[in-house]
Chain A
Amino acid sequence: MQRLEKKHPRAVRWFHWINVPLLSLMAWSGLLIYWSNDVYRLGWGDKTLFKFFPDGFYDALGLGHRLAEGMAWHFFVMWFFALNGIAYVTYTFLSGEWRHLVPNRHSFREAWHVVLHDLHLRKEPLPPGKFNGAQRFAYTGVVLMGAGSLATGLAIYKPVQLAPLTALLGGYEWARFEHFWLTVGYVLFFLVHITQVARAGWNNLRAMITGYEIVTAGEPSHE
């Protein structure tokens, strides 16, 4: 026997899907800006393992010589990105949804279990509940990264008026460095996220679209 069970509130689904184009636009316009002074790399001393970014990357995506356009877009979309994120965080707190999202005292153990399970080192089924420990860390972490992007972004945007914030983040150049690496972090998050969504299957992804999941009797509920 099966039944439909409400999983994701409508507001959360809207915030989530609206964030997709907004974060993409922020990363794209950020790259248009970054191209003008693309100094970051993986490496040490004279040894560079990977330069952010190879010329072919800019050429393929047409990112070069568009600094003014990048700034205009970045300072346009930033409001919508920030407001959507603030609305999401406000909603999760007021609705109590945060209880499913913020790591609790079981989360470390659970997250370790999930990692071993996904690496096929442990056979026991994944922990029950709406979000397991690994998801709690990931989804809370990415929201903190969003707050970090806003803070580092503001520190670069108004380094005189917000001089204490900029100093707290290590100064203007460090804030730019942090702002960049947070974006690399979103890309890594995205890769893991879509891999896990693909592994979890259609019923799980569909719940993020419709709000409902089909649950077979006898399976643990989300609540």
Chain B
Amino acid sequence: MNNAPQRPDAEVARRMSRLTRRSFAVGAAAAGVGFLGWLGLRSASLEDRTPWPLRRMLEFNEKVGSALFRESALAPDFGADRVTEPRVNGWIGLGEDFDPARWQLQVHGSDGARPRFFALDDVKALPAVDLTTELKCIEGWSNVVHWTGARLADFAAKYGFGTKDGRPFEGGGRPADLARYVSLATPDDDYYVGLDAAAALHPQTLLCYAMNGAPLTAGHGAPLRLVIPVKYGIKNLKRVGTITFTDRRPADYWAERGYDWYSGH
């Protein structure tokens, strides 16, 4: 450019306005395309209260998250000095017409399979596991909580759930016919969560009966709740009534209300 003969100012001004017009035309077209994209996303039909392209992206993110998921990656275990009392953030599924004395855990080995029933002592008979992990709410707050319970993986292995032929699997090994999903619901079915098997059988996923050294209170899900540190708080179902091992992607209370089904950490 420096070697080019210098043009008179009027010619420079003409060339500049031509360039400017062209750039504005291209810019306006690009902005128009962007704006149409925005309108399209805003008006796309809803799937579980979320515009379907955003829902597809959540599912894509889930694929990426599942592919990168490592069972060996553990939620950090904190010291006792950081333990706090979490708030009771919801009462859905915790209706008052509930008698803990008559509670039983109902477990389906597969969709439509006849349920088997378990008492709290059947869970407590499994090796007790203590965790001091961070409970993280999608709202943005978190609490370090001490949990005591039995691994869901140990429960499935001991009582022969999770595989289609009912053959118990050893912790760590994952048989080819492992159920793809696990569903949990409150006894009244008002609150329900769907989990991928990898998260459900993660070594830190507990059927939990004690919190911060004391038996669970009603507000925190007595007599038995799910603790799953690889998921947001919304998946940590309180007052477990039913567990179902299934190959069908289970319904999820909050996913139906616009949230990510996977919600995994």
Binding site for B on A (CB under 8 A): 1-6, 17, 21, 33-34, 36-37, 39, 67-69, 71-73, 75-76, 79, 157-161, 163, 166-167, 172-173, 176, 206, 209-212, 214, 217, 221
Contacts and interface: CB of A to CB of B under 8 A. Distances in A.
A171 B196 CA distance: 26
14 contacts: A1-B9, A2-B12, A3-B1, A4-B16, A17-B30, A33-B140, A36-B140, A37-B141, A75-B260, A76-B54, A158-B264, A163-B76, A173-B142, A209-B24
B257 A214 contact: no
A68 B257 contact: yes
Nearest to A22: B34
Given A21-B38, A76-B41, A163-B73, 20 more contacts: A1-B8, A3-B1, A4-B16, A5-B1, A68-B50, A69-B50, A69-B258, A71-B260, A72-B57, A72-B58, A75-B57, A75-B61, A76-B57, A79-B57, A158-B65, A172-B142, A209-B27, A210-B20, A210-B22, A210-B23
Interface string B1-39: 110101111001101100110111001001000100010
A72 B48 CA distance: 12
Contacts of A221: 2
Contacts of B22: 210
A222 B230 CA distance: 53
Nearest to A166: B76
Contacts of A2: 6-7, 9, 12-13
A167 B75 CA distance: 11
A72 B15 contact: no
Interface stretch (B122-130, B131-139, B148-156): B131-139
What 7 pairs across the A-B complex have the smallest Cβ distances? A68-B258, A37-B140, A36-B139, A160-B265, A72-B54, A210-B19, A210-B23
B180 interface: no
A166 B13 CA distance: 54
A69 B4 CA distance: 55
A71 B220 CA distance: 26
Interface of B: 1-2, 4, 6-9, 12-13, 15-16, 19-20, 22-24, 27, 30, 34, 38, 41, 49-51, 53-55, 57-58, 61, 65, 68-70, 73-76, 134, 136-142, 229-230, 254, 257-260, 264-265
A68 B254 CA distance: 9
Contact of B75 (A69, A163, A209): A163
A67 B260 CA distance: 11
A163 B257 CA distance: 29
Nearest to B258: A68
Nearest to B69: A161
A160 B12 contact: no
Contacts of A6: 1
Given A159-B136, A172-B134, A72 B258 contact: yes
Contacts of B24: 209
Q: In the complex, which of the residues B12, B53, B260, B264 has the most CB atoms of chain A within 10 Å of its own CB atom?
A: B12
B68 A161 contact: yes
A74 to B, nearest CB: 10
A33 B232 CA distance: 14
A160 B9 contact: no
Contacts of B138: 36, 67, 71
A130 B73 CA distance: 47
Contacts of A21: 34, 38
Contacts of B6: 1-3, 217
Contacts of A211: 19, 23
Q: With a 10 A CB-CB cut-off, give which of A73, A76, A163, A217 has the most chain B CB atoms.
A: A76
A76 B34 CA distance: 15
